[in-house]
C-alpha cells in the first residue's frame, strides 16, 4: 500500500500510526486525503494553551509544519522533504476543547522545492485562525 492509500485508510479515524512521533502526540483525525492536499481535525487540549487559555501560537505553528510535512508524504515520492521556512499569520483565537481543522495544498511544485500553504479554521470552518506558508526542499534521504 502506498503512502496516499495508507493515509486514506485513516479517514474518519485518529492518525495514531503516523511515522512522526510528534503527529502521534497531536493525534489528528483524518478528514480527507488527496495527492498534495490534506484535511485534519484536532481537538485543542489543555497542554496546547498559552497563559490566556487560548491556543498557543507555537502549537499553531507546529500543527502547520507537521501537517505540511504529512502533505509531502501524500505525494508518494521516494525522498523526504525538509522545511526551509514557515511564515504564519495569526487571525483569531481558539479555546480548549474547540475543534479546529487544518487544510493544506501545494501552491507550486518544482524539481527541488515545494511551496505549500495550510489554513487552520475554527467554528466549523467559519473562522480563520491562522494561515501558514512554507517552502520545503527535497533531500537526498530516501524513505
Domain residues for the domain of 9 are 3-142
- Structural domains counted in the chain: 1
Q: Confirm if 71 and 8 have CB atoms less than 8 A apart.
A: no
DSSP element (H, E) containing 67: helix 57-74
Predicted TM-score of the model (pTM): 0.95
Q: What is the mean pLDDT of each run of 10 residues along the chain (143 residues)?
A: 89 92 96 98 98 98 97 94 97 97 98 98 94 98 93
Look at residue 54 and give its three-state secondary structure. Answer: strand
What is the C-alpha to C-alpha distance for residues 113 and 128, in angstroms, rounded to an integer?
Answer: 27
Q: Which residues pair with 30 in a beta bridge?
A: 11, 40
Domain harbouring 28, CATH code? 3.10.129.10
Residue closest to 134 by CA, chosen among 67, 65, 81, 70: 65
Amino acid at each position: 500500500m502506498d503512502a496516499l492509500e495508507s493515509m486514506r485508510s485513516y479517514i474518519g479515524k485518529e492518525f495514531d500510526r503516523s511515522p512522526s512521533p510528534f503527529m502521534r502526540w497531536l493525534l489528528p483525525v483524518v478528514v480527507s486525503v488527496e495527492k498534495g492536499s490534506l484535511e485534519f481535525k484536532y481537538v485543542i487540549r489543555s497542554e496546547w494553551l498559552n497563559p490566556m487559555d487560548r491556543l498557543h501560537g507555537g502549537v499553531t505553528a507546529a500543527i502547520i509544519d507537521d501537517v505540511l510535512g504529512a502533505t509531502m508524504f501524500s505525494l508518494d515520492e521516494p525522498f523526504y522533504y525538509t522545511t526551509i521556512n514557515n511564515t504564519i499569520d495569526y487571525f483569531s483565537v481558539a479555546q480548549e476543547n474547540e475543534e479546529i481543522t487544518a487544510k493544506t495544498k501545494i501552491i507550486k511544485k518544482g524539481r527541488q522545492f515545494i511551496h505549500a500553504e495550510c489554513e487552520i479554521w475554527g467554528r466549523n470552518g467559519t473562522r480563520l485562525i491562522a494561515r501558514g506558508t512554507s517552502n520545503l526542499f527535497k533531500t537526498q534521504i530516501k524513505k
